Amino acid sequence: MILDVYKITINTTTPRLHHALFVEAEGTECGYLIHVLGDVQSGYTYDVYGGENDTGIKVEQVHGYLGKELIGYTEEGRLTEFMDACESVAPPGVQMNAQGVKIEKGRPWYRDGEWLGDAIRKLVSEGLLTML
């Protein structure tokens, strides 16, 4: 079975939008939200959310959901590999101190959107995501 892969956008309580992957089983509208959660002051952690008892969720029901963009697909039999590859991409670390000062001034911010780009590149390079 083919699983559709979407890039989704969520409105959070911060001024920035949150970006994540959503893997949806064909024709079910249910699937898994794959992302990193956190901020530049405390760092991020990798997270996969599949609902109660890991049965999948409808992404449109996620609080703050704004929209999704179909970016490609993966094979159901490779879903564990897909998630493992995402998890292997290091989540963004602490980039701001307790006083709100950027730790590495010359380095660009690395947040959920940048992590997502790196995860997508890894998935494609490992043959786990076929882009449209």
Please count the structural domains in the chain: 1
CB 77 within 8 A of CB 68: no
Rg (the chain; Cα; Å): 15
- Which residue segment(s) compose the domain that 11 sits in? 2-131
Query: What's the whole-model pTM score?
Result: 0.93
The amino acid sitting at 10 is I
* Burial status of residue 89 (CB atoms within 10 A of its CB: 0-12, 13-18, 19 or more): middle
* Overall average pLDDT of the 9-25 stretch: 90
pLDDT at 42 over 90: yes
pLDDT at 15 over 90: no
* Overall average pLDDT of the 33-57 stretch: 91
